[in-house]
Structure 1
Amino acid sequence: MSTRPDGTWHHVSMTTGSVETEDAATEVQTELAARLRLVVGRLHRRIRIDGRESIPPLQLSALVTVEQHGPLRLSELARREAVTAPTMSRVLASLDEQGLVIRTPDPNDARGVRIVLSEDGAARLAEVRSHRTALVARRLVRLAEEDRQRIVAALPALEALLVEDD
């Protein structure tokens, strides 16, 4: 990519050797973003369907959030999961019923409780992760070695997409 004297930039395509204008490069970026979104979304959905987990997605997400950020108050967990407090209350009731979380008194508020992951909750998360990893591994085996190496090479860039914007 280089800047022209008029302030616009151009990009020489590595695949075609052609010069792309700013508008064409924006179109390429948009197409890349759409393709990436589609493949990641479909792969995630396929893993979820093939996994046949007994834990619904929001409950599973809440368990992961509690594992990563716990102990959490219900309101904080609801905020992190972008759901209402009543919705999170129902989710926690189900997780509590299954023995996957433990409600502990909040030392800073006698009326409040904090949610932590139970041993069963940690074991269930490990089981789900192991199963999903095995599902992806089976799909990777079907690829040619060259394609697997391309995925390995792309992982640092894909992981960089997970970094939050400042």
Structure 2
Amino acid sequence: MGGPTTGSAGPPDLGDPMLPARLRLAIGRLNRRIRVDAAAVLPPLQTSVLVTLEEHEPLRLSELARREAVTPPTMSRVLAALDDAGLLVRTPDPQDARSALVELSPEGRAMIERLRTERTALLAERLDRLAPEHREALAAAVPALEALVTLPSE
């Protein structure tokens, strides 16, 4: 009684209307499995904020909230937790004295590197347990998955 999301079903036909659902479920479940196996030290939103800062720092709270699709009060709570953990630095915004710019501290950079290393190792272990044909299929799919990420929203 497995169904298409158990991994026992064969590859979907490209015209299969269930393909997007299967792909979404597989990626979401794999992401959760890696987070659980890594015994995440930070909640997902805090981790995402650190990565966003790494890519775009320095940023104002309002810009971080926009990029993370959360409200400013939510972002304020996230930044307070990251600040308490010593993972970021706030500096006065030279263009607006009422605002602060947020960037990573050295500890924040080290945390991102640690998370990446752990999660990459966990994924490598899972890949090693796959049959060679499945590893080959995933290797061939990486460029398409990367293209999905970079497609502009409509």
Question: Normalised by the size of structure 2, how large is the TM-score?
Answer: 0.87
Asked which structure has the greater CA Rg, the reply is 1
Deviations 1:28-87 (A, max 9, x none): 1x2111110111011011011111121111111111111111100001101111111111
Is 1:32 matched with 2:19? yes
- When the two structures are aligned, how many residues end up with a matched partner? 142
Distance of 1:134 and 1:105 partners within structure 2: 38
Is 1:142 matched with 2:129? yes
Q: Using the TM superposition, give the Cα deviation of residue 158 of structure 1 relative to its aligned residue in structure 2, in angstroms.
A: 1.1
Letter in 1 for 2:123: V
Distance of 2:43 and 2:107 partners within structure 1: 16
Is 1:48 matched with 2:27? no
Q: What SS class does the counterpart of residue 139 from structure 2 fall into?
A: helix
Letter in 1 for 2:152: D
Letter in 1 for 2:70: V
Unaligned runs of 5+ in 1: 1-14
Q: Which runs of 4+ in 1 moved over 2 A?
A: none
Higher strand share: 1
Distance of 2:28 and 2:96 partners within structure 1: 41
Distance of 1:81 and 1:164 partners within structure 2: 18
Distance of 1:110 and 1:35 partners within structure 2: 49
CA RMSD of aligned residues (A): 1.7
Question: Normalised by the size of structure 1, how large is the TM-score?
Answer: 0.81
Letter in 2 for 1:128: L
In the TM superposition, 1:68-79 aligns within 5 A as: 68-79=55-66
Deviations 1:79-117 (A, max 9, x none): 111111111111101101111000011110112100001
Unaligned runs of 5+ in 2: 1-10
